[in-house]
Structure 1
Amino acid sequence: MAVRNAEEQEASYSRRLVSATAETMRELILSRAEDELIGSLPDIARQLNVGIATVQQAARILEHEGLLTVRRGPGGGYFGTRPDAAALSRSVATYLRVRGADDYEALEMMTLLDCELMPAAARCDSAARHEDLRLLQQRVDHCHSGADRVAFEDDLHAVLFAMVDRPLMELLAGVAMRYYRSSPIPQVFEGEKGLIDWRRWRHQIIAAILARDPDLARFEAERHRRDLLARLEKNDRR
């Protein structure tokens, strides 16, 4: 029993040391420019006063986070990188799928985020972004299939996030959208009536943003959210 306790304590200490080393390396990477060399394996071990094996384990954590790349050979070493938003969205969406998150929760989260995103976009005064939005508005009535609408939603949100520059909101929306689309649940706006409703709402919200009216944009986003949740509840009763 004493031997096992000693082994467990050693393993616990090793995990804490690796975690602390990863955190120190993470801060080192983020304090420097992207793709900058932070050192070789022996250099980092000496600098942090830890063993080579500890640095290697910490490096694997940071590689998984998208913060580190290892280059071997002459001129190689550990280089700091930056995580890719799409890769992070995929990872978190996969985690939610593994945990068995509620299928409708992602859609509810998307609309909740839109209630903040739409008013923020309406405060944007960039003429170039407004022109992008006008061009998108011309596509609304030409969207017929589900694939058309998915492509439109992706393009619309890309423009809106460019208008507001909210990286955390963009990441959360990307996760929610990816998770929702991976779920085997029916489309909310079904049939011809659903298509008409979807087109009308998109025209209304884009018009509010182009008018630079945050209050109207919030009103339209919140009205759409209430409508969507009502449709979800109706689907659940079927």
Structure 2
Amino acid sequence: MEQVGNAETLVARTARGLAQISLDAEAGAFIGSEDDLLARLGVSRPTLRQAAKIAENDRLISVRRGIKGGFYAARPDAQDAIRTLARYLRLNGATLSDIMVVSRLVSEEAGARACACDDPALRARLVGFVAGIDANDTPAELIRAESELVSVISEMSGNPAIQLVMAIGFSFGMEEQRVALYRDEDHRATARTLQRQLCRAILDRDEEIARVIMRRRSTTMLEWIVQAERESA
């Protein structure tokens, strides 16, 4: 039993060592062959290979075969985190209503912070979004539009934590097959109106109105979600 425990500890320690080597290098950089890392970490080949699987699953290294084979530095991206957290929430019984209760506070802050954004490219994206709002008249089109709006506003917030929370909330919601958002024509018209009002507040740099509209959007969507969940129960 002690040998198994020690072996597991060594593998975990080696995985942490591989991760640190990767983080000390630029993403995509070659960090060594298998023999290089065996000498550097002072472990056996089976231990290194088990540790490499752990580090690779965490997207901290990539292992390539062939002539240019070896170990390369890698980095997890936002989508990895989003998928993992959304899966965790779903497995623990979280509902879209639960997500909305938390994410709406973050959304309000995102809307307010977006007002201060001076990035001309991001402001231009928002202007372009406004120009296309009236063309989104089906549930699928509105879902795509919401994805774009959430993306640009969270990016305009300049806060990576806000970007992550909003992305998780949107990802969780759009993948929730039990809830049919925007199926009602009046809901779609309301959603477009709120989108337009929110974009105008941000472009006018009116933080107070942006917070109010964000709150109204979250409250309205939560009502639709609760109604849909009750009807599908």
TM-score norm. by structure 2 comes to 0.87
Which residue among 107, 124, 131 is the counterpart of 1:138? 131
Which residue among 76, 83, 91 is the counterpart of 1:83? 76
Q: CA deviation at 1:236?
A: 5.4
Aligned residue in 2 for 1:4: none
Question: 3-state DSSP class of the match of 1:104?
Answer: helix
Which residue among 27, 32, 36 is the counterpart of 2:25? 32
**Runs (4+) of structure 1 moved beyond 6 Å?**
none
Structure 1 residues 48 and 207: CA distance shift in structure 2, 3 A: same
Percent identity (aligned)? 27
Alignment of 1:115-194 (within 5 A): 115-194=108-187
Structure 1 residues 16 and 181: CA distance shift in structure 2, 3 A: same
Q: CA deviation at 1:232?
A: 4.0
Aligned residue in 2 for 1:60: 53
Distance 2:60 2:30 in 1: 12
Distance 2:168 2:230 in 1: 27
Structure 1 residues 17 and 228: CA distance shift in structure 2, 3 A: same
Calculate the aligned-residue CA RMSD, in Å: 2.3
TM-score norm. by structure 1 comes to 0.85
| Structure 2: unaligned runs, 5 residues or longer | none
Q: CA deviation at 1:211?
A: 0.7
Distance 2:66 2:224 in 1: 58
What count of residue pairs does the alignment treat as equivalent? 231
Distance 1:171 1:61 in 2: 24
Contact 2:110 2:157 survives alignment (8 Å): yes
Aligned residue in 1 for 2:3: 10
| Structure 1: unaligned runs, 5 residues or longer | 1-6
Contact 2:112 2:208 survives alignment (8 Å): yes
Q: Tell me which moved more, 53-62 or 171-180.
A: 171-180
Q: Tell me which moved more, 165-174 or 118-127.
A: 165-174
